Amino acid sequence: MRKFILRKFFANDNNEAFVPDAKFKHPDVAPELTVDHFNLSIEGSPILKDVSVTIPANKITCIIGPSGCGKSTLLKSLNRLSDTIEGVKTTGDIRIGDTSIANCSMSDLVELRRRIGLVPQRPTPLPMSIYGNIAYGCKIHGVSSRRELRKIVRHYLKVVGLWDEVKDRLTSPATKLSIGQQQRLCLARSLAVEPEFILADEATSALDPVSSKIVEDLFVKLKEQYSIVMVTHTLRQALRIADYVIFIYMGEVIEVGDAQQVFKNPKNELTQKYLSGAIS
To another protein, the closest distance from the beta carbon of 121 in angstroms equals 8
Stretch that binds another protein, among 25-33, 125-133, 161-169, 224-232 (CB under 8 A): 125-133
User: Among residues 122 and 233, whose Cβ is nearest to another protein?
Assistant: 122
Instruction: Tell me: does residue 179 bind another protein (CB under 8 A).
Output: no
Cβ-based burial of 82 (10 A; exposed 0-12, middle 13-18, buried ≥19):
buried
Specify whether the backbone of 60 is left (phi greater than 0), alpha (psi in -120 to 50) or beta.
beta
| ∠ Cα 132 138 140 (to 5°) | 95
How many binding residues for another protein (CB under 8 A)? 34
Stretch that binds another protein, among 32-40, 76-84, 236-244, 261-269 (CB under 8 A): 76-84
Nearest-angstrom CA–CA distance, 138 and 148: 10
User: Among residues 16 and 86, whose Cβ is nearest to another protein?
Assistant: 86
User: Quick one: CA torsion of 83, 86, 87, 90, rounded to 10 degrees?
Assistant: -20
Residues 6+ apart with CB under 8 A from 128: 136, 173, 174
Binding mask 184-223 for another protein (x = CB under 8 A): --x--xx--x-----x------------------------
Specify whether the backbone of 212 is left (phi greater than 0), alpha (psi in -120 to 50) or beta.
alpha
Among 110, 179, 220, 278, binds another protein (CB under 8 A): 110
Instruction: Give contact residues for another protein (rule: CB under 8 A).
Output: 79, 81, 84, 86, 106, 110-114, 116-118, 120-122, 124-129, 136-137, 140-141, 173-175, 186, 189-190, 193, 199
